[in-house]
Amino acid sequence: MDILNVDKITKIYRRGFKGTRVTAVQDVAFSLTENHITGFVGPNGAGKTTTIKMIMGLVRPTAGRVTMMGKPAESTASRAGVSYVSEQPYFYKHLTVGETIDFSARLVGIKRAAVDSERKRVLEAVELTGREKAKVRSLSKGQQQRLNMASGLLGDPKLLILDEPMSGLDPPSRRLFRSLFKKLGDEGKTIFFSTHVLEDIEAVCRDVVVLDGGKLRFTGSVASLLEKGALGTELVVSSLPDNLTADLRADGLEVSRSPGDETLILIPAPKNPAAYQRKLYEQGIFCLSIQKRTMPLESLLYGANDGLANTAGDGGVS
């Protein structure tokens, strides 16, 4: 079932005295399936935050429609069971961590009797246990991001919409968030989060939506995206006789030496790796390792070859 459906949304702003039309997002369409972690990728200025604000009903689309839980995004009923975490947290700095969570808990309607257990649960999830009495103003940026995420976990939401949740995090906090996302995914939560750090996508996401210049460039699984950047299969052997090296190169394979003085054989994507494994085996040569080689995700998304041109598909993520 689609828990979120974005149907060809466009957002046009008017700027300046003359009201010049500026298109921030144009004809973007995709959907999210329940229980999947989906990354929302694009360079700065791609339109990610504007899209998320339209999803949350904070900005009205100029054209198109968004539904969550089968209800229009502009309806408050659509946000039941949905958590939104903005990129920039805004807190009352004079409050303590515990007071901030308690305040947020009451805002989302958690009963007074359940606030203590909820506070304990969400602070434990982001590893802020023991900091309940610390003033928010004393927290580092990374700790404030953790507190922001803790507030987003209140009420055990079914769908989490997160705008750059790992922005500015140090490596330990980034690892914590990745682990938390995986845990939430295992618990059956649906997560949609924006990022421009591509390692986050490869580490935790099953699906990805790619936006660039306000337009959709790709929707689908991370595996299918990486498949578009497939370079071939790399075989590692201890050594090759000169005549076999020449034969392989004549067939269009790349043969080189590794820093460890092993021989690397790259079989281009269209060719059958099994045929060359048999050829090596017949010569008494065994592979030390076999692995797929793909173009780096960053090069695939933002490289000069524009590898994702016209690959947005039908707008579905499944």
Question: Would you kindly state where each structural domain of the chain is located, as residue ranges?
Answer: 2-227, 230-294
pLDDT at res. 307: 52
pLDDT tens readout for residues 265-293: 999 988 999 999 999 999 999 999 998 88
pLDDT at res. 316: 52
Q: Stretch 105-120: mean pLDDT, rounded?
A: 94
**Is residue 310 over pLDDT 70?**
no
The HSE-up count of residue 161 (CA atoms within 13 Å, CB side) is 24
pLDDT at res. 117: 96
**Is residue 313 over pLDDT 70?**
no
Which DSSP string do the residues of 131-157 spell out, in sequence order?
-TTSBGGGS-HHHHHHHHHHHHHTT--
pLDDT tens readout for residues 161-214: 999 998 878 888 999 999 999 999 999 999 999 987 888 888 899 999 999 999
pLDDT tens readout for residues 24-41: 999 999 999 889 999 999
pLDDT at res. 168: 79
pLDDT at res. 121: 97
Lowest mean pLDDT among 59-63, 65-69, 115-119, 307-311: 307-311
The CATH number of domain 230-294, selected from 1.10.3470, 3.30.70, 3.40.50, 1.20.58: 3.30.70
pLDDT tens readout for residues 66-95: 999 889 988 888 889 999 999 888 899 999
Of the chain, the percentage scoring pLDDT greater than 90 comes to 68
Q: pTM (2 decimals)?
A: 0.79
User: Which class in CATH covers the domain with range 2-227?
Assistant: alpha beta
Residue listed under structure tokens 């969570």? 101
Q: Are the beta carbons of 138 and 112 closer than 8 angstroms? A: no
Give Cα separations from 102 to 71, 89, 98, 143, 145 (angstroms).
29, 16, 6, 17, 17
Banded pLDDT at 315 (limits 50, 70, 90): very low
* Residue among 127, 155, 122 at smallest CA distance from 142: 127
Give the containing element (helix H, strand E) for 225. helix 222-228
Query: Which amino acid would we find at residue 304?
Result: A
What is the overall mean pLDDT for the chain? 89
pLDDT at res. 16: 84
* Residue among 175, 244, 249, 220 at smallest CA distance from 41: 220
Same topology between domain 2-227 and domain 230-294? no
